[in-house]
Amino acid sequence: MNFKITSILVLSILITSCKGEQTAKKETNQTPEFTNKGEELVSKMLEKVGDYKTLRSKEDVVYTYTYQTPDGKTDISTEKYIFDGELSYGKYEQHQRTLSDLQGTIEQGYDGKEFWLKHNGEILNDSIALKRVAFNRPTNFYWFTMFQKLMDKGVSYEYLGEKTLNEIPYEIVKVSFNFGDSKPTDIYQLYINKNTSLVNQFLFTVADFGAMDTPNLMTLEYEDVDGMLFPTKRKYKKSTWEAAVSDAPWITVDWSNIKFNNGLSENDFKS
């Protein structure tokens, strides 16, 4: 009798254990649910470049930002961000297109609550200049984290099909945003390389300047930094929605000297 009871108990434990293992395996093997193919392609792209969780684990970043227009006017700034809270700082040693009327060094900041501006170490309260800061700080932060933030809540995806450009096969995904406010938001059209899962180029609008009808085309070159891929060399100009550009010269944007985990604190972003 004792043998039978013991055998039944052992058998029961084994069955329960097997069921638990099967459930665990089933949960492990579950694939993420996507609203459509567009969202799935964006998710696969993030597997390649690195997602926002990976980026946030690096705490902060310092890098050199260089922006040059076709007429040679150049901005060069040292950018600093803390990813948690999206704190942003830029020190411009050269600013031929950003607040070019100010001679000498300018500093811009967002401390999590307010935007601020310094000129040669002195606080400026000019409302027009501060509007420029309120555009630059979140815009520069967003461009750096753009791919990772494409999986934020409020982002919508529309798969537009396939297209071959310059013998490269692309899958095209339209990205739009709905964050609950009434003002228009930008539209992105990603050209995702079918062979690499990377975005080689994308179309974008600039809603803050009312440029919604005619997009820009941005092309990208990537660099591996600390295990993630960043589009450190970028250039753009006006385009059609079919990604046809004119012979006009490009605006170029370069990120260099990218360094993570610098031990920045909130005090580094206060005026």
Taking only the tens place, the pLDDT of each residue in 164-174 is 999 999 999 99
Q: Is the dihedral of CA 238, 243, 245, 249 positive or negative?
A: positive
Q: What is the mean pLDDT of residues 124-149?
A: 95
For the chain, what is the total number of helices (H) and then of strands (E)?
Answer: 4, 13
Distance from C-alpha of 89 to C-alpha of 114, rounded to nearest angstrom: 12
* Band of residue 186 on the pLDDT scale cut at 50, 70, 90: confident
Residue 108 has pLDDT above 90, yes or no: yes
Q: Which two tokens stand for residue 7?
A: 């055998």
pTM, 2 dp: 0.84
Least confident of 8-12, 102-106, 214-218: 8-12
pLDDT at 2 over 60: no
> Which residue bears the tokens 């001679």?
103
The confidence band for 100, taking pLDDT boundaries of 50, 70 and 90, is: very high
Phi and psi torsions of 28, nearest 5°: -65, -40
Residues 6+ apart with CB under 8 A from 73: 96, 97, 100
